[in-house]
């Protein structure tokens, strides 16, 4: 039976899509997201979007959420010859840290971060304000799977599933909504309420 993630489309965390989490709430972590059958996924709010699990999983990447890492914890894993990656301070994608990407720049995808030895990282001479050294093994245990909005397409994802996306109802602007005179109840235009009193009963309809 095909399984689905359910996205809350009202907001993302950076570029990461937010999904219904197992046990309540929302998460970008696919391994903490609740899984639904097709029938369950189609029975929610218009703002909840069903995504086939296999489609999303094939386009997921690893990211490191700064809320779940600690330099104090990681320090014990920095030993001679160990493999490390470099965090670039001041750059974020939602909660995800930026990591140095060879030969230049940075990436939010953990699997694309440049790997080097502790000695090579220290020889670069970067200060903590320029780069933070993290043991690769430490971040490997804390990286999570997520998917960025630019890596997925809902029309493509739902092909062959039999699911059709609901067309959002157009929200009228305040000035497009019909108004009633508070004196006699007759319809009046948005503009006329500011220009004249009601021609029928003389009531002032200005807010």
Query: Do residues 112 and 99 share a domain?
Result: yes
29 within some domain = yes
Are 56 and 151 within one domain? yes
Cis check: omega of the bond before 153, within 30 degrees of 0: no
Average pLDDT over all residues of the chain: 89
92 and 50 housed in the same domain:
no
Statement to judge: residues 67 and 134 lie in one domain: yes
Could you give the CA distance from residue 197 to residue 204 in angstroms, rounded to a whole number?
Answer: 5
Residues 10 and 29 in one domain: yes
Q: Tens digits of per-residue pLDDT, 87-108?
A: 999 999 999 999 999 888 999 9
Mean pLDDT of 37-66: 94
Is residue 83 in some structural domain? yes
41 & 83 share domain: no
Instruction: Give the pLDDT score at 153.
Output: 97
Q: Are residues 53 and 74 in the same domain?
A: no
Instruction: Let me know whether 106 and 206 are in one domain.
Output: no
Residue 4: C-alpha distances to residues 20, 50, 145 (Å) = 11, 6, 16
Q: Stretch 30-37: mean pLDDT, rounded?
A: 97
Domain holding 48, by residue range, is: 4-60+147-157
**CA quadruple 107, 113, 119, 124: dihedral sign:** negative
Residue 135 banded pLDDT, cuts 50, 70, 90: very high
Q: Which residues in 159-175 are b (16+ Cβ under 10 Å) and which e? A: eebebeeeeeeeeeeee
CA distance readout (Å), 16 to 43, 46, 145: 24, 20, 10
């Amino acid at each position: 039976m095909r399984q689905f993630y359910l996205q809350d489309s009202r907001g993302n965390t950076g570029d990461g899509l937010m999904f219904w989490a197992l046990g309540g709430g929302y998460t970008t972590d696919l391994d903490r997201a609740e899984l639904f059958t097709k029938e369950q996924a189609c029975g929610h709010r218009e703002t909840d979007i069903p995504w086939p699990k296999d489609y999303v999983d094939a386009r997921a990447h690893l990211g490191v959420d700064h809320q779940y890492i600690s330099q104090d914890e990681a320090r014990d894993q920095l030993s001679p010859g160990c493999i490390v990656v470099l965090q670039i301070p001041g750059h974020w994608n939602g909660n995800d840290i930026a990591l140095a990407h060879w030969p230049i720049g940075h990436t939010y995808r953990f699997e694309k971060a440049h790997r080097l030895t502790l000695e090579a990282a220290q020889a670069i001479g970067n200060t903590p304000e320029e780069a933070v050294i993290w043991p690769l093994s430490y971040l490997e245990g804390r990286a999570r799977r997520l998917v960025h909005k630019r890596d997925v397409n809902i029309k493509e994802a739902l092909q062959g599933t039999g699911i059709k996306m609901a067309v959002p109802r157009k929200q009228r602007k305040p000035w497009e909504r019909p108004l009633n005179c508070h004196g006699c109840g007759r319809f009046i235009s948005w503009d006329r309420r500011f220009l004249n009193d009601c021609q029928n009963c003389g009531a002032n309809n200005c807010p």
